[in-house]
A and B are shown apart, each in its own frame.
Chain A
Amino acid sequence: MSQPSITLESLWEEAGFKPNAEQERAIRHIDGPLYLTAGPGSGKTRVLLWRTVNLIVFEGVQPEHILLSTFTDKAAHQLREGLKNYLGQVTNHTGQAYDLANMYVGTLHSLCQRLLQDRKLNPNYRNGQPLRVLDELQTYFFVARRRNWQQLIEAAGLADLEPMDQHVAINTFFAGNRAGRSRHEAIQNVLSFFGRMSEEMLVPAAVLGHAPDDDTRMLLRMYARYRELLATPGGFDQCDFSLLQQKAYDVLQANPQVQRYFRHVIVDEYQDTNLIQERLVFALAGQQNLCVVGDDDQALYRFRGATVENFVEFPARCLRYLGREPEKIPLNTNYRSRNRVVQFYTDYIGQHNWRKDDHPGEQYRVHDKNITAHSRDQDVSVVCTAAAAPDVVSEELARVVRELLDSGKVEDPNQIAFLFPALRGNSQVERMQLALEAQGLRVYAPRAGRFLDVEEPTLLFGAFLHVFGRPEQGPFTSADYTGYFDWLNEAMAQVRQRFGQEPELKRYLKAKRQEVELAVSDYQALVATCQAQGWDLEAQYDERAMKPALVGTRAASERTRRAVNSVALTHQVRRRLREGSDKPPLKLADILNRVTTLDWTILDLFYRLSGFPTFKRMYDLAESGRDEGPICNLGLVSQYLSRFMEMYSPLLTAGFLHDNQFQRLFFMSFLYTIYRRGESEFENAEDPFPKGRIPFLTIHQSKGLEFPVVVLPNLRKDNRGAGPLERTVRALAPEAEGEPLDRMAGFDIARMFYVALSRAKNLLLLGRYQSQGNHVNREFKPLLDQLPTTASFDVASLAAMRHGEEKPPKAYSYTADYLLYERCPRQYMVFRRYGLVPSRSQTQFFGSLVHYTIEDLHHRLIEKREKATPQP
């Protein structure tokens, strides 16, 4: 095989990449710890990718010895795609192929999960015993289980109180005199506490002595009990998201050789890591080649336990853990935004005081970044409305947006992002939306309200209520409870309103309701027969003795009686009796359930409802390319339905339906929890914002994204001081270093706006509220005074939008994309593009099972052969 000589330079030239001096230095760095401070839009993703390519191609590092981690699954996906692309380019020249299948690319959470299940790295990995990691929603339901919750209450020493007082006792710690009485709030609160304790690696027994008060001691006891409860499942290993990392860390501690497995460890978004992650990262970097990348000015996740000090103090920590200082390379040229945008946000962050009180020469910020824009243009790219009342400002912003679209300066409304510190319960958001709608513009605000309040889920669950019935409303008066019942009623009413135009929908829902009722009454009739015969439902089914009486149950429907008598059932019964059957013989209760189970699941019902005009319209809109919003929401509904089926059961047995058990579990536990948690989180990994609509995002949501136009209608966020968790952690771990409690909230606000301002590529549009009770944050004032106003801004003068070239080319799979699309474009759209969950596809499971097992066999055989013929 000939090896044409390729170099990094020749590859860069081919890819059209011209690194600046710092970028090149970072890419070529191969030895020892590296500290990359990367400002917004500084091309850090490219640098990371090329650095990895350099390691693999020119330094001979095996991909599986590189660990590459980042903050979100989406970012990890992009890194992997980008890497494949660049390495594919190398392969084109050299013929040398690179297999990334075994390379560790992902979030730290997913990497921990993989590490625990990797036989090479985790010697204790138990073959075949799957690890069950409870995600946030599952963790919630785990703690919410009455039996578990009761245990926690006992551990807290609150068992003697009335439930409501128990909740208040817990909530007071978190919300002071604004503490609510609801169990839901108490669960959310203790979960945030548990997560934080785990991430700070605080062991209850060890820190109890430091606890400043009784409440903290109470919560620590609950935490200790929680960990005991988690540790006692059956048949599998179980943990939550936070403890997953501790588990991985324990494996590393116990196996020093694993700490030297990775030759290079690269961690992106390092400013958002927490304590356990820092320890984990240093433990993984036994070979000292640790590269961290980040920007402390863009740290956003303190509320999730992130400690920005991990990044700011990295040189000192490196010295402590690795015994040497890292090389520091600043990536400070911004390629994303126009010159004035960069100047504006750099000035903004400089308005704050970051100096340490006790060491005036030092700062709580990496302050020597010297961020500059690559673009040198002096055109207007930051404009501000005149100071005015919110209504006036909103109208003015909407006018400019309309003009931008009309003038063709912006291709699609989804290129204009409105960013807010918070979307929920924020009256400014609604005001802004109304102003845009008055201009004939539509908004897409996935986290503005409750997902369930959106039209599609409301109608869909409304139809479900017509089938399964609405739960009885109890005498409770909490805002959540009454609000939820208002929503249930509204959902039913909205569906009812359709009945006039769609009588067939009314008839169909009624038919389904009758099926549910019939299944339940048949079940009761069969149970009555069993009782009359004196049979125990838990007894083994004796076909010869029991079948005739069951078939003869007059009160049961013909259909059910036929099912008892069916060949298929007989076959099943006998199969279980056969010797060597891996499952026990069927019980009488199994038979009853089997013959009275509905033909359909909740997902089956979901897809059948899609045939009626109310719902079909949502698919038609996507198919014709007019509006993607509705089908995206349907996709999320299908995912929730699928989760319910995963957590509980896919089947609607009559035993489950009767006594309203299913109804209560579905509406009063599952959906109510989704309602109260304000679940939403629609995010499409590829193409996050539907065309034709203006995205309204929280600043957190906008992290890592960029938009041609960014609008910040309201430049205000009030400083409420450090939260109770921060104070607790500081008390329990007094030796830990960190930002002063009285300054951290101010720092966080500065960083949040910094992130928002730096999302804009071409135009930053700012609103300036000024009226009774409205103002902008102090640091903005001197800056806004210098800006041109929207009134004087001529949209036509705006330079044409540059084409985004940052995105790596997309990869399309032969089978999962091309063949699927060829088979049916619409099927492709529904399942692949919009992620609706199929109801019961078995073929994929089957294929994967065969392929994975054959692959395991091959690996085994290859391994065997390698052992038999040792390398000379």
Chain B
Amino acid sequence: MILKQNTAQIKAEAAKKQQELAELQRQLDADKEANELEQYIIERFEANYETLALESGRHIAPDAKEAALKQVLMYWRKLPEVATTITQTEVRLSLPNQRTSTGTVFTIEGVVDIIRDNDRTVMYDIKTHDIDAVRSNLELYQQQLNVYAHIWQTLRGQELEETCIIATAFPKAVREAVALGDDAKLERELTKWEPRLTIPFSQQTLEETIARFTAAIEAIEVGQFAPPPVSRLRERLPGERALYASRICGNCDSRFSCNAYRAYAEGERANVADEFDFYGDYGTELEQSDWLSTNLDAGPPRDIDDLI
């Protein structure tokens, strides 16, 4: 009896061991695959970087490049269940036969990054901003995804269960932990980080957005290109501390010839002694230093006489 029980026990234990071993093997395989994929990501990342650099003749700062790679790797580590179940990527959506009040026919186009369509259809759009920025600008993203969802559903006649933003940039708390070098905090914050945000659908938002889109196209077609009023430049951007003038205009090369920005800057002059203070703005010192580091390697040609 005891022997029998023992045999059964041993068998059970052996089976359990077997199972554990299989599980281990499965995990190893999964790890191996994950590793291979990370390797693949790094490879493609470098290739894409080279191609973009060759196409644009530009480079990005080493820090920015590193951050870009991290975003992709973290996306893969955080959301493997999304990445491995997606069915279509870079889906082009178009809504033809839109009409302006003057009768111009146009098409609205958008590209959505991924659609997952196994048991339920979810539309994801990947943003390289952080999730807090997305939350504070929720309306903006809602408008966009509502339009995309509308195109998908009405034109393709397919149900859509959910629309969702994936924000790949590290949230503030993670960035702080990195800056502090606090590994424990980093671990905690990374676990806490949820890069997904579901965007609700609203028929009213949709209609308003399409109306606004149409109005914008009308304005483009008749050539209305005045900048926003100075008052808008003085406003903060939603959910940010930065002003419109510094975030939007500050990154716009044509601000120097822009009446609105000039009027704004006139009111903000810091250094009255320097007549050309207005033109001396080349970004922050850090940006300037990054820019130098990025471009010095491909520095100016040395043998000018060969080139002339």
Contact = CB atoms under 8 A, between A and B. Distances in A.
A861 B299 contact: no
Contact of A814 (B97, B109, B168, B308): B109
Contacts of B148: 814
B299 A649 contact: yes
B58 interface: yes
Nearest 5 CB-CB pairs, A to B? A646-B57, A95-B157, A611-B256, A656-B300, A568-B289
A831 B258 CA distance: 13
Query: Which of A822, A831, A858 has the most chain B CB atoms closer than 10 A to its own CB?
Result: A858
Contact of B220 (A650, A828, A851): A828
Interface string B270-294: 0000011011101001101101110
Given A95-B158, A850-B168, 5 more contacts: A95-B156, A597-B296, A812-B106, A842-B64, A857-B40
B240 interface: no
A122 interface: no
A845 B308 contact: no
Majority-rule SS of A interface residues: helix
B160 to A, nearest CB: 12
Interface in A731-772: none
Contacts of B260: 826
A811 to B, nearest CB: 4
B107 A826 contact: no
A604 interface: yes
Nearest to B82: A858
Contacts of A608: 256, 279
Interface stretch (A166-174, A197-205, A616-624): A616-624
A619 B107 contact: no
A847 interface: yes
22 contacts: A1-B158, A88-B155, A89-B96, A144-B307, A593-B296, A597-B292, A603-B253, A611-B278, A619-B258, A643-B57, A809-B104, A810-B107, A812-B108, A812-B109, A826-B227, A830-B254, A846-B68, A847-B128, A849-B68, A853-B41, A857-B44, A860-B40
B113 A851 contact: yes
B182 interface: no
A814 B108 contact: yes
B14 interface: no
Contacts, number: 316
Contacts of B87: 862
Interface in B190-207: none
Contacts of B40: 856-857, 860
Contacts of A814: 108-110, 144, 147-148, 213
Interface in B80-95: 83-84, 86-87, 89-92, 94-95
A97 B87 CA distance: 14
Contacts of B65: 849
Interface string A133-153: 000000001001111000000
Contacts of A653: 296, 299-300
B184 interface: no
A147 to B, nearest CB: 5
Nearest to A148: B306
B37 A860 contact: yes
B252 interface: yes
Nearest to B265: A611
B219 A821 contact: yes
Given A649-B301, A848-B52, A850-B68, A859 B256 contact: no
Query: Which of A91, A575, A645, A662 has the most chain B CB atoms closer than 10 A to its own CB?
Result: A91
A147 B306 contact: yes
Given A846-B60, A850-B68, A859 B257 contact: no
A623 to B, nearest CB: 5
B57 A508 contact: no
B252 A661 contact: no
A825 B90 contact: no
Contact of A857 (B37, B61, B94): B37
Query: Which of B87, B248, B253 has the most chain A CB atoms closer than 10 A to its own CB?
Result: B253
B54 interface: yes
A504 interface: yes
Interface in A639-688: 642-643, 645-651, 653, 655-656, 661-662, 664-665, 668-669
B299 A616 contact: no
A329 B43 CA distance: 50
B227 A853 contact: no
B52 A611 contact: no
A855 interface: yes
B289 A622 contact: no
A84 B216 contact: no
Interface size class of chain A, counting residues whose CB lies under 8 Å from the partner chain? 35 or more
A573 B96 CA distance: 55
B48 A849 contact: yes
A826 B254 contact: yes
B220 A821 contact: yes
B84 to A, nearest CB: 6
Given A593-B296, A813-B109, A842-B61, A100 B92 contact: yes
A572 B289 contact: yes
B292 A818 contact: no
A290 interface: no
B252 A827 contact: yes
Contacts of B114: 858
A270 B226 CA distance: 44
Contacts of B75: 854
A95 B227 contact: no
Given A597-B292, A846-B68, A84 B254 contact: no
Contacts of B49: 849
A865 B118 CA distance: 13
Interface in B202-240: 212-213, 216-217, 219-220, 223-228
Nearest to B50: A130
Contacts of A575: 62
Nearest to A837: B253
Nearest to A150: B306
Contacts of A89: 96-97
Given A572-B293, A623-B226, A826-B226, A662 B300 contact: yes
A818 B306 contact: no
B231 to A, nearest CB: 14
B227 A856 contact: no
A17 interface: no
Query: Which of B47, B90, B307 has the most chain A CB atoms closer than 10 A to its own CB?
Result: B307
Nearest to A575: B62
Contacts of A840: 58, 291
B128 to A, nearest CB: 5
A694 interface: no
A353 B1 CA distance: 114
A817 interface: yes
Nearest to B166: A854
A611 B280 CA distance: 12
Contact of B107 (A88, A846, A865): A88
A836 interface: yes
Nearest to A659: B304
